Amino acid sequence: MTIGWWIAGVLLLAMIALSVQYWRLKQKLERQKAETDLLQERLADAEQELTDVKARRKKLLAASTQALIIVENDFTVSSANKVARRLFGKPEKGATLMSWTRQHQLQEVVAYTLDGEKMPPQYLNYNERALEVHARAIKENKEAVAVALAIHDVTKLQRLARARRDFVVNISHELRTPLASIQLLTDTLLNGGLDNPAMALDLTNKIAGQVDTLTQMAQEVLDLSLIESGKVPLKMANTPLQPILEAEVDRFTPQARRKKLTLTLTPVGDLSALVDDRMISRVISNLLHNAIKFTDQGGVTVSANKIKGNDSNDVPTGRWVKITVSDTGLGLSPEDLTRIFERFYKVDKARNCKEAGTGLGLSIARHIVEAHGGKIWAEQNNGPGASFHFIVPTE
């Protein structure tokens, strides 16, 4: 009996020990499961965060106006946004920077950056574009594993800088001529010219003419600046064109007659356009002034008609009124046709013309037309002379 109880006691203790061990194992498994669940949750969060980061990076790359390129330390291209692909084309999978862009300078920028060099912005010319390149190393454990390139197209900025420099040079040149004339005429007056009333009157009139030229130049520079900056509000209205064209033709008829030229307006009937009548009158005035000034024989014709724009006729899609001022004068060279609307630009023949000008009239005309949403251009005629056209919206 005693042995039986002893065996039973041993078995009971064994069962209790097994139960405790089972309970402990169960607790351990539950803890491990909880830890595993927590790790899986953290892994899922990390994966979601990584997905979000990639999505944000993709959006940033897509939204950037700069070309953004990621180059690995073996010089393969791992990422390029739309701007970069538009600039250099789409890179093939595993392409190197050199095989893709064919730009040694970019390769050197990446190499220097991987070596730990901090480089200032670099500039390179590519397909007639000026590019500004910034590079930053992407590091892991303090080691450069890739390079991020940001490439900005600064062609327009360089053109603006060049235009600003040209403006200073040109206006200095244009001011020098009338100022030199005024100085010469004044010296002549002071050195005996005042003793001759007829000579004094002639010299004084010439000085007044040069002062008028300076005044006109100052006014046109101011006007051009205001128009370019958009500080001249346009009062757009559906405006009949016949009265505007008639008024400008009548105003320039005496000037044409003095040169024995014909000045003809082709009637436009009830044709109208959505314009600021005062500003469009100025465009027509500037075109007529130029046409008469550079025409010695024949005449000038003004006309207008409706046109419909499309891709085939190089006119923006829509309904437009085209106004044309055509002359039988000096004509324009191919270079003149591309530059004639630049500020201060003058053809060689114009510099020898007796009637001086500021070289701003056509530039002012261009900015006024573009402010209307239109376009202005010049063409060499089949015969003598040139034609200036501009379009403005009909509604």
CATH number of the domain that residue 224 is part of: 1.10.287.130
| pLDDT exceeds 70 at position 363 | yes
Residues 133 and 148 in one domain: yes
Residues 194 and 67 in one domain: no
Residue-level length of the chain: 395
The torsion of the CA quartet 349, 355, 360, 364, rounded to 10 degrees, works out to -110
| pLDDT exceeds 70 at position 63 | no
- The CA distance from 374 to 209, in Å, is 35
State how far the alpha carbon of 154 is from the alpha carbons of 101, 114, 124, 125, in Å. Answer: 18, 25, 10, 10
Write down the pLDDT at residue 287: 94
Is 24 a domain residue? no
- The CA distance from 376 to 389, in Å, is 6
Write down the pLDDT at residue 328: 92
Q: What is the mean pLDDT of residues 227-242?
A: 83
Dig out the tokens for 97 from the structure.
């920077």
Higher pLDDT among residues 57 and 29, named by residue? 29
Write down the pLDDT at residue 369: 92
Write down the pLDDT at residue 80: 87
Q: What b/e sequence results for 109-142 when a residue is b if at least 16 CB atoms lie within 10 Å of its CB, and e otherwise?
A: bbebbbeeeeeeebebebeeebbbbebebeeeee
Sole residue written with tokens 């003004």? 302
**Given its phi and psi angles, is residue 306 left (phi above 0), alpha (psi -120 to 50 degrees) or beta?**
beta
Q: What is the mean pLDDT of residues 263-284?
A: 91
Is 322 a domain residue? yes
Residue 287 phi, psi (nearest 5): -70, -40
- The CA distance from 5 to 79, in Å, is 80
Write down the pLDDT at residue 174: 74
How many domains is the chain partitioned into structurally? 3
pLDDT tens digits, residue range 307-357? 887 655 567 777 899 999 999 988 888 888 888 888 777 665 444 444 555
| pLDDT exceeds 70 at position 84 | yes
Write down the pLDDT at residue 129: 86
Dig out the tokens for 352 from the structure.
């020898």
Higher pLDDT among residues 243 and 142, named by residue? 243
Instruction: Find the CATH number of the domain harbouring 118.
Output: 3.30.450.20
Residues 253 and 389 in one domain: yes
Instruction: Find the CATH number of the domain harbouring 258.
Output: 3.30.565.10
Write down the pLDDT at residue 250: 94
Percent of the chain at pLDDT > 70 equals 89
Of 302, 281, 286, 269, the closest CA to residue 235 belongs to 281
Residue at a domain's end among 230, 259, 276: 230
Rounded to an integer, what is the distance from CA 300 to the centroid of its chain?
35
Helices (H), 64-103: 82-88, 97-101
The torsion of the CA quartet 159, 164, 167, 172, rounded to 10 degrees, works out to -140
Whether pTM > 0.85 for this model: the answer is: no
Residue 176 phi, psi (nearest 5): -60, -40
Higher pLDDT among residues 113 and 51, named by residue? 113
Residue at a domain's end among 153, 184, 219: 153
Write down the pLDDT at residue 275: 92
Residue 201's domain comprises 156-230
| pLDDT exceeds 60 at position 98 | yes
